[in-house]
């Protein structure tokens, strides 16, 4: 099945292009009638019927009952056969690895979160990541031969078309995607983590019906995913969305990119952690100190303190929300999106972060723009990146 499907879609023939178009349409619309497919493809119903019949016979497409109509014949609904192919997504964060499996229809079948890793720019670290992926595959009830594609999402400047990661795991002339493909023996693509999160929200999360959106990824750094007319915007080299590395502050704080005053030096989880520790060392108090010494405090401790209504933690998060609101307001003025999603680890602060952002956006954004754009928290939360990576693993295979 895997070899037949790959052979069909990799041909440059008109039939292969039509099959890719049908699969892509069903990825975004789940089920469809032949009439709707023919209209979308601007082809005759007999032509589309012939291709659908062939794909049904090959096992890629199933019938999903009949569409209920007010009268006349009830057309058959067609959709992807869930068991005809499987896809793996991987999400690499600062200190964790997440791995997931979906079927052809996009159902999440298995998810392994929070595998501890110490991310280092070495081949030894790549080997360790590959071993974790192989262990995950070995534990599946399906054979490796039925897995068509793997997508790896990671932060920083990623060129998904050429397979290079320029911020991490950059080993010279060979692209990271090629190294991983050779090591795992399954085709691998790579993608920026913020775009993966946005894609997850677009297909399975908070963006149902929204085709123009921004995903603000407030994690240890600060990134952004951009959706324009239902398509991920990547830029010329895949580097779009480096929101955190635009200049924002005359604070003389050196960002990990090497420059001073980047937005993420004041608006990120790393900034929250730095400020929290600075305030404690200056003599301020927090409930965290009743459990740990300053040297042992982690970012999780700060978010747990927010849940316990710790005044210092809440005050710092609200301050970051107010500052972010100014910059998000600028983005709304530029992009005029349907939706702005606030995600990443900082979104764990919930309304304590969201409300200051919304209030500040309303203050500094053009009123018509502000009314156009809904600002919401991520629906998929910590799973946005891995779910998006799984779904990108599937869609990347069928891009015409």
pLDDT score, position 399? 75
pLDDT score, position 166? 92
**Rounded Cα gap, residues 38 and 89, in angstroms:** 32
pLDDT score, position 369? 82
- For 73, counting Cβ atoms within 10 Å of its Cβ (0-12 exposed, 13-18 middle, 19+ buried), the class is exposed
Residue 191, classed as helix, strand or coil, is strand
Task: List, in sequence order, every residue forming a beta bridge with 79; answer none if it has no partner.
Answer: 31, 62
Task: List, in sequence order, every residue forming a beta bridge with 215; answer none if it has no partner.
Answer: 225, 341
Give pTM, 2 decimals.
Answer: 0.95
Domains and CATH numbers, the chain: 2-83 (1.10.10.10), 85-198+385-398 (3.30.420.40), 209-378 (3.30.420.40)
- The DSSP symbol for 75 reads P
pLDDT score, position 371? 86
pLDDT score, position 16? 87
Are the beta carbons of 305 and 291 closer than 8 angstroms? Answer: no
Nearest to 228 by CA among 250, 195, 266: 195
- For 231, counting Cβ atoms within 10 Å of its Cβ (0-12 exposed, 13-18 middle, 19+ buried), the class is exposed
Are the beta carbons of 32 and 78 closer than 8 angstroms? Answer: yes
pLDDT score, position 357? 98
Q: Angle 176-184/123-138 helices, nearest 10 degrees?
A: 40
Nearest to 62 by CA among 118, 116, 28, 23: 23
In 59-175, which residue ranges form alpha helices assigned H by DSSP?
A: 123-138
| 6's tokens | 């790959």
Tell me the backbone φ, ψ of residue 96, rounded to 5 degrees.
-140, 160
**Rounded Cα gap, residues 396 and 400, in angstroms:** 9
Tell me the backbone φ, ψ of residue 106, rounded to 5 degrees.
95, 10
Are the beta carbons of 344 and 201 closer than 8 angstroms? Answer: no
pLDDT score, position 329? 96
Task: List, in sequence order, every residue forming a beta bridge with 279; answer none if it has no partner.
Answer: none
Residue 15, classed as helix, strand or coil, is helix
pLDDT score, position 9? 67
Q: What is the block-wise mean pLDDT of the chain (400 residues), using blocks of 10 residues? A: 64 83 93 96 96 93 87 86 96 94 97 94 95 98 94 96 92 91 96 98 91 97 97 95 94 90 96 98 96 95 96 98 97 96 97 98 88 95 97 88
**Rounded Cα gap, residues 270 and 22, in angstroms:** 44
| 55's tokens | 């794909």
Contact residues for 114 (Cβ-Cβ < 8 A; gap 6+)? 96, 98
């Amino acid at each position: 099945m895997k070899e037949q499907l790959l052979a069909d879609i990799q041909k440059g023939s008109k039939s292969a292009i039509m099959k890719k178009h049908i699969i892509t349409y069903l990825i975004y619309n789940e089920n469809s009638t032949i009439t709707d497919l023919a209209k979308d493809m601007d082809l005759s119903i007999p032509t589309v019927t012939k291709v659908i019949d062939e794909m049904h016979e090959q096992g890629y497409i199933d019938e999903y009952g009949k569409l209920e109509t007010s009268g006349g014949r009830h057309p058959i609904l067609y959709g992807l056969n869930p068991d005809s192919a499987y896809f793996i997504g991987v999400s690499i964060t600062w200190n964790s690895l997440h791995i997931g499996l979906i079927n052809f229809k996009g159902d999440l079948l298995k998810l392994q979160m929070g595998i501890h890793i110490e991310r280092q720019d070495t081949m030894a670290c790549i080997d360790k990541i590959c071993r974790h992926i192989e262990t995950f595959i070995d534990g599946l009830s399906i054979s490796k031969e039925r897995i068509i594609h793997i997508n790896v999402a990671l932060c920083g400047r990623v060129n998904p078309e050429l397979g290079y990661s320029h911020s991490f795991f950059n080993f010279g002339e060979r692209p990271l995607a090629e190294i991983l493909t050779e090591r795992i023996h399954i085709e691998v693509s790579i993608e920026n983590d913020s775009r993966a999160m946005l894609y997850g929200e677009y297909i399975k999360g908070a963006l149902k019906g929204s085709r123009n959106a921004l995903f603000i990824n407030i994690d240890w750094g600060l990134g952004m995913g951009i959706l324009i007319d239902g398509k991920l915007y990547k830029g010329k080299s895949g580097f779009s969305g480096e929101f955190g590395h635009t200049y924002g502050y005359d604070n003389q704080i050196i960002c990990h990119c090497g420059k001073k005053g980047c937005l993420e030096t004041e608006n990120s989880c790393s900034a929250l952690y730095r400020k929290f520790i600075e305030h404690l060392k200056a003599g301020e108090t927090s409930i965290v100190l009743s459990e740990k010494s300053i040297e042992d405090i982690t970012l999780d401790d700060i978010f747990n303190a927010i849940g316990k209504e710790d005044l210092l933690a809440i005050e710092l998060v609200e301050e970051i929300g107010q500052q972010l609101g100014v910059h998000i307001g600028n983005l709304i003025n530029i992009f005029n999106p349907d939706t702005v999603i606030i995600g990443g680890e900082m979104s764990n602060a919930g309304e304590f972060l969201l409300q200051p952002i919304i209030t500040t956006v309303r203050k500094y954004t053009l009123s018509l723009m502000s009314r156009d754009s809904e600002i919401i928290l991520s629906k998929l939360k910590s799973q946005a990146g891995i779910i998006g990576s799984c779904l990108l693993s599937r869609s990347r295979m069928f891009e015409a």
